[in-house]
Amino acid sequence: MTNQELKSSLLQKCIEQQLQGINNLQQQMDDAQQQSNDYGQPKDRYDAFKTKLLRQKDMFAQQQAKGKIVLSTLKQIPIEETFSQVEFGTVVITNKQKLFVAAGLGKIEIEGETFFAISPQVPIFNALKGLKPGETTVFNGMNIEIKEVF
């Protein structure tokens, strides 16, 4: 698998994972709305159960909106572009782990290899940002060497 194919596979997995999360939140919103509808009118002015259901629905809606922003960000990552240093949209191979700087989605398996999709807002990215292959940095007491960036 070429670097571009690997990056494309990583991006596709991230997009699929994000879409699944958005769809799960939609289902939870629909369930909360259905429970609220089934429950009927509030029993009194301070009906805690009905209020709880509506707050849940609002919370899921807010999470879904954030998920859609992340999805939009993922779709802006240029697959064809080659990078010479660590920045948003790069796959970074270090002596410690393999990272995909895209969104904070965690562990992703591609062809038996483990990658970590991280957000550009996390501290490890700030430690690696701008580094090129062969350069090193210290993060949390660990020496991290950049082996490859694409």
What are the structural domain ranges in the chain? 3-74, 91-149
In DSSP terms, 145 is beta-bridged to: 136
Determine how many CB atoms are found less than 10 A away from the CB of residue 22.
18
User: In sequence order, which residues have a C-beta less than 8 Å from that of residue 128 and are 6 or more positions away?
Assistant: 86, 92, 94, 99, 137, 139, 144, 146
pLDDT tens profile 43-73 = 777 788 888 888 999 999 999 999 999 999 9
Q: Would the CA dihedral through 82, 89, 116, 6 be positive or negative?
A: negative
Asked if the model's pLDDT at residue 133 lies above 90, the reply is yes
Specify the pTM.
Answer: 0.85
Is residue 131 within 8 A of residue 86, CB to CB? The reply is: yes
Q: How confident is the model at residue 93 (pLDDT cuts 50, 70, 90)?
A: very high
Average pLDDT, the chain: 94
Are the C-beta atoms of residues 57 and 29 closer than 8 Å to each other? yes
Q: Are 10 and 110 in contact (CB under 8 A)?
A: yes
10-26 per-position pLDDT tens digit: 999 999 999 999 999 99
